[in-house]
Structure 1
Amino acid sequence: MTSLFQILMLILDIAQFVVLAHVILSWLINFQVLNIRQPLVAQIWYGLNRFLEPVYDRVRRLIPATAGIDFAPLIVLVAIYALRIVLMNNAAAFY
């Protein structure tokens, strides 16, 4: 059962990294540090969008629309942290 706990924590770590990478990449593209016309940047950007947009869309349906600020990544990160806390608090059940 310890292995299951570690696998779940690894999945949450990867999800957290992917969301943070998407947020940082969006900032770099919006501030024109990175150019979306570069093939590598475009592949990473569109791949992350394809992977995360279904998650973000579900969150956007639940929260009210704000003018120009997207809180969906923040809410997804908070949900990941909440799942980590729940798993850590119930870690004894995995041993």
Structure 2
Amino acid sequence: MFLITLLQIVELLTSVLLMLIIVQFVIGLLFAFNVVNQSNQFAATVYNSINTLLEPVLAPIRRILPRTGAIDFSPLVLIIILQLVEIVLRNVAVAAA
């Protein structure tokens, strides 16, 4: 029972982080292609807030990954790690049940 609850919490956190990563990516693209100006106070505030939330999670991954220029692969690596943790927890919960 404990493992199922832990799995549900991890799934919830994974969903929240995934949505934050997607929103960060989309707003970053909107800024990069000048669809939204960076002087737009609302978009800049949302983008900076999301960056502040994700930076503690992405910074250790960025330190490990090699530099790739303008492309940041750390969000993709984070998504893969979160999915792997979910899979392992799900399998452990099923095996324990």
How high is the TM-score relative to the length of structure 2?
0.83
1:83 match: 85
TM-align CA RMSD:
1.7
After TM superposition, give the deviation of residue 40 of structure 1 in Å.
1.0
2:20 match: 18
Please list every run of 5 or more consecutive structure 1 residues that lacks an aligned counterpart in the other structure.
Answer: none
Distance in 2 separating the partners of 1:94 and 1:45: 41
Residue 48 of structure 2 is aligned to residue 61 of structure 1: no
Please list every run of 5 or more consecutive structure 2 residues that lacks an aligned counterpart in the other structure.
Answer: none
For 1:40, which of 34, 39, 42 is the aligned residue?
42
After TM superposition, give the deviation of residue 72 of structure 1 in Å.
1.0
How many residue pairs are counted as aligned between the two chains?
Answer: 95
Give the counterpart letter for 1:51 in structure 2.
L
Q: After TM superposition, which residue ranges in structure 1, 4 or more long, deviate above 6 angstroms?
A: none
Distance in 2 separating the partners of 1:4 and 1:54: 22
For 1:8, which of 10, 17, 21 is the aligned residue?
10
Kept in 2, the 8 Å contact 1:28–1:34? The answer is yes
After TM superposition, give the deviation of residue 93 of structure 1 in Å.
5.7
After TM superposition, give the deviation of residue 34 of structure 1 in Å.
1.7
How high is the TM-score relative to the length of structure 1?
0.85
Cα separation, partners in 2 of 1:94 and 1:33, compared to 1, 3 Å: farther
Kept in 1, the 8 Å contact 2:7–2:86? The answer is no
SS in 2 for 1:36: coil
Cα separation, partners in 2 of 1:29 and 1:89, compared to 1, 3 Å: same
Give the counterpart letter for 2:57 in structure 1.
V
After TM superposition, give the deviation of residue 94 of structure 1 in Å.
6.7
